[in-house]
Amino acid sequence: MKLNEISDNPGSSKKRMRVGRGIGSGKGKTCGRGVKGQKARSGVAIKGFEGGQMPLHRRLPKRGFYNPFSTDYNEVNVGRIQDAVDAGRIDAAQPVTNEALYEGGVVSKLRDGVKILGVGDLSAKLVFKVAAASKSAVAAIEAAGGSIELLAVAEAPAEAE
């Protein structure tokens, strides 16, 4: 079988109806749109319109909000960091920071910081300089002989008085 020999099953797709081709076709003159009015014209966009009744999207209450002061961390398990060290993508002699993890391909983009989580095994003696870490991650790092320094996250600028 070749690509140019592939075809759909017979009868699986219908040809489109050609409208406006005489009254004998059954779709002549008004082309199945009825007569006059907004919906007979082109360019009609009345999604959500309920005949003057208050639309559903306006009857329902608003929910939730966006917190502009929230922090968005890259969450990385110690097992993934150990894999990157074994593969040579992270230098064990240098401190493990947000930028080092980004350059090593462990995180895909720089966010507000890195939070280290404790899933997996860590055998390399590493120095971490990160925004946050779980208790199990701190225990795993210290058990491997490494150390961890928690950095203060950059705060929003205070209003001048």
pLDDT in tens, 10-28: 999 999 999 999 999 999 9
pLDDT in tens, 103-140: 999 999 999 999 999 999 999 999 999 999 999 999 99
- Binned at pLDDT 50, 70 and 90, residue 158 comes out as low
Residue 49's pLDDT is 87
Alpha-carbon distance of 101 to 97, in angstroms, equals 6
Whether residue 56 contacts residue 48, with contact meaning beta carbons closer than 8 Å, is answered with yes
Residue 157's pLDDT is 55
Q: CATH class for domain 73-150?
A: alpha beta
Quick check: 45 pLDDT over 90?
Answer: no
Alpha-carbon distance of 22 to 72, in angstroms, equals 63
Quick check: 160 pLDDT over 70?
Answer: no
**What are the boundaries of each domain within the chain?**
73-150
Alpha-carbon distance of 129 to 99, in angstroms, equals 10
Cα angle vertex 46, ends 44, 50, to 5°?
Answer: 150
Alpha-carbon distance of 87 to 95, in angstroms, equals 17
Quick check: 156 pLDDT over 90?
Answer: no
Taking the model in full, what pTM does it have? 0.59
